[in-house]
A and B are shown apart, each in its own frame.
Chain A
Amino acid sequence: MLAFIVRRIITTIPVMAFVALFVFSLLYIAPGDPAAVIAGDQASPADVEKIRASLGLDRPYLIRFGEWFYHVLQGDLGTSIFTSLPVTQLIAQRIEPTVSLMLLTLIFAVVVAVPMGVIAAWKAGSWIDRCVVGFAVFGFSVPVFVVGYMLAYVFALKLDWVPVQGYTPISQGIWPWFKNLILPSITLGFVYIALIARITRATMLEVLQQDYVRTASAKGVEQRNVLFVHALKNAAVPVITIIGIGVALLIGGAVVTESVFAIPGLGRLTLDAILRRDYPVIQGVVLIFSFVYVLVNLLVDLVYTLVDPRIRY
Chain B
Amino acid sequence: MTVQSNTIAAPLAAPAGSEPVSPPESVLSPGSVLSPKKRSYLRKHPAVTVGGILLLLMILIAVFAPFLWTVDPTAISTARRTRVPSELYWFGTDMLGRDIYSRVTYGARVSLLVGFSVAFLASVIGLAVGLFAGFVRWADGIVMRIIDGMMSIPPILLAIALMALTRGSVQNVIIAITIAEIPRVARLVRSVVLSLREQPYVEAALSQGARVPRIIFRHILPNTIAPMMVQATYICASAMIVEAILSFIGAGVPPSTPSWGNIMAEGRALWQVRPHIIFFPALFLSITVLAVNLLGDGLRDSLDPRLAKSL
A: which residues have CB within 8 A of B?
Answer: 11, 14-19, 21-23, 26, 29-31, 124-125, 129-130, 133-134, 136-138, 140-146, 149-150, 153, 157, 164, 195, 198-199, 201-202, 205, 241-242, 244-249, 251-253, 255-256, 259, 270-271, 273-275, 277, 279, 282, 285-286, 289-290, 293-294, 297, 301, 304
Contacts and interface: CB of A to CB of B under 8 A. Distances in A.
Contacts, number: 177
A78 B57 CA distance: 50
Contacts of A144: 245
Contacts of A145: 245, 248, 264
B153 A129 contact: no
B12 A133 contact: yes
A33 to B, nearest CB: 14
Interface stretch (B2-10, B29-37, B100-108, B121-129): B2-10
B293 interface: yes
Residue in A198, A248, A253 whose Cβ sees the most chain B Cβ within 10 Å: A248
Contacts of A142: 282, 286, 289-290
Contacts of B64: none
Given A18-B148, A252-B154, A293-B154, A198 B16 contact: no
A125 B16 contact: yes
A64 B160 CA distance: 24
Interface of B: 1-4, 7-8, 10-13, 15-16, 145-146, 148-150, 152-158, 160-161, 163-166, 237, 241, 244-245, 248-251, 264, 271-272, 275, 278, 282, 285-286, 289-290, 293-294, 297, 311
Given A22-B150, A252-B154, A274-B250, A149 B10 contact: no
Tell which of B12, B145, B293, B297 has the most Cβ of chain A within 10 Å. Answer: B12
A149 B271 contact: yes
B145 A15 contact: yes
Given A15-B149, A146-B282, A252-B154, A141 B289 contact: yes
Contacts of B286: 141-143, 146
A30 B3 CA distance: 29
Given A153-B275, A249-B7, A256-B245, A279 B164 contact: yes
B237 A141 contact: yes
Select the residue from B145, B155, B156, B293 with max chain A CB neighbours within 10 A.
B156
B54 to A, nearest CB: 11
Nearest to A145: B248
A199 B272 contact: no
A149 B278 contact: yes
A195 B145 CA distance: 26
Contacts of B297: 137
Contacts of B285: 143, 146
Given A30-B164, A273-B164, 8 more contacts: A19-B153, A31-B166, A137-B290, A143-B285, A199-B11, A274-B251, A290-B154, A294-B152
Contact of A19 (B4, B152, B278, B294): B152
Contact of B157 (A15, A150, A255, A277): A255
Contact of A140 (B8, B250, B275): B8
Contacts of B145: 14-15, 18
Q: B15, B157, B293 — which one has the most chain A CB atoms within 10 A of its CB?
A: B157
